[in-house]
Structure 1
Amino acid sequence: MNSNVIQLERLFDAPVATIWKALTDKTEMKKWYFDLEEFKAEVGFKFSFTGGPSPEKQYVHLCEVTEVIPQQKLTYSWAYEGYAGISHVTFELSSQENKTLLKLKHTGIDTFPQSQPDFAIFNFNAGWNGILNKSLEAYVESINQ
């Protein structure tokens, strides 16, 4: 496996339509992901958000949707304002009975400045693990109640 690529899989106890909505509806995204001003699952749609390792250290994330297959696949670019590099985040969904297998792949992390410790691969790995295995899991549990 490429050490510069993050690949995670998670089986959620929810149908594909529920997980797709969580990934593409800005109101739902705010409940588990980032506070996006706007989001549309449309190729070419640009969005941004602010996030970082601490309240004192925040980065503006610049993103553009590059691929959409409704209820199956969503890909967007991920860059940082003021920094070189561009990466891509892909979410793929597949139905497994009444559950959803979500596969996340984040590539291109090695294009970010290696001199910036916040852009180290282990930080992205920890971030995505927290987002999928804690935040999104808690969101799914809350709507299943």
Structure 2
Amino acid sequence: MKTNVEKEVIINASIDKVWKALTNKEEMKHWYFDIPDFSLEKDAIFNFFEPGGQNKFWHRCQVEEVIPNQIFKHTWEHPDFSKAITHLTWKLSEKDGQTIVNLNHDNLDGLAEAGDDFKVENYNAGWTEILKNLKKYLENME
């Protein structure tokens, strides 16, 4: 059985602003991760580490799907710890002037071999915090 983390957040901002925050490396730094080699092009590979400068957890990602203002999907790997390839999908939709962000991080059971730092519970908590950061960043911009 594959294990997923699914989250939804409603943000009081236009879909254009949310999309830009999700896909612009300068904006990502404010609420997500600093990803110097980020590119939105299909098949582009980007890499980053967790904040704080310890560089313990290398993240390697490859862009799989881009539909502007709708879907951004990429792989999510930790090559130093596991051969598993997980997938992260961001889906956006608009309702009443707000943006609904749906996040799905799948195949997390594949990371079980990597140890306690990669438990589904940690991803669940991490994505909750990251979505709070995104909402706070966008709703406090103006």
Q: TM-score, normalised by structure 2?
A: 0.92
Runs of 4+ in 1 over 6 A off after TM superposition: none
The higher-RCO structure (CA 8 Å, 6+ apart) is 2
CA separation of 1:78 and 1:98: change in aligned 2, threshold 3 A: same
* Contact 1:88/1:108, CA 8 A, preserved across alignment: yes
Gaps of 5+ in 2: none
Q: Which has the higher strand share?
A: 1
In the other structure, the counterpart of 1:59 is 57
In the other structure, the counterpart of 2:5 is 6
**How far apart, CA to CA, are the structure 2 residues paired with 1:138 and 1:103?**
16
Give RMSD over aligned pairs: 1.8
* Contact 1:64/1:77, CA 8 A, preserved across alignment: yes
Q: TM-score, normalised by structure 1?
A: 0.90
CA separation of 1:8 and 1:114: change in aligned 2, threshold 3 A: same
**How many residues end up aligned between the 2 structures?**
141
In the other structure, the counterpart of 2:123 is 124
Q: 1:108 Cα shift?
A: 1.0
In the other structure, the counterpart of 2:66 is 68
Q: 1:3 Cα shift?
A: 7.4
For 1:114, what is the secondary structure of its paired residue? Answer: helix
* Contact 1:114/1:120, CA 8 A, preserved across alignment: no
- 1:1-145 alignment runs, 5 A limit: 4-51=3-50, 58-82=56-80, 83-114=82-113, 116-133=115-132, 135-143=133-141, 145=142
Q: 1:41 Cα shift?
A: 1.7
* Contact 1:84/1:113, CA 8 A, preserved across alignment: no
**How far apart, CA to CA, are the structure 1 residues paired with 2:119 and 2:112?**
9
* Contact 2:2/2:109, CA 8 A, preserved across alignment: no
Q: Report the AA paired with residue 93 of structure 2.
A: S
* Contact 2:85/2:107, CA 8 A, preserved across alignment: yes
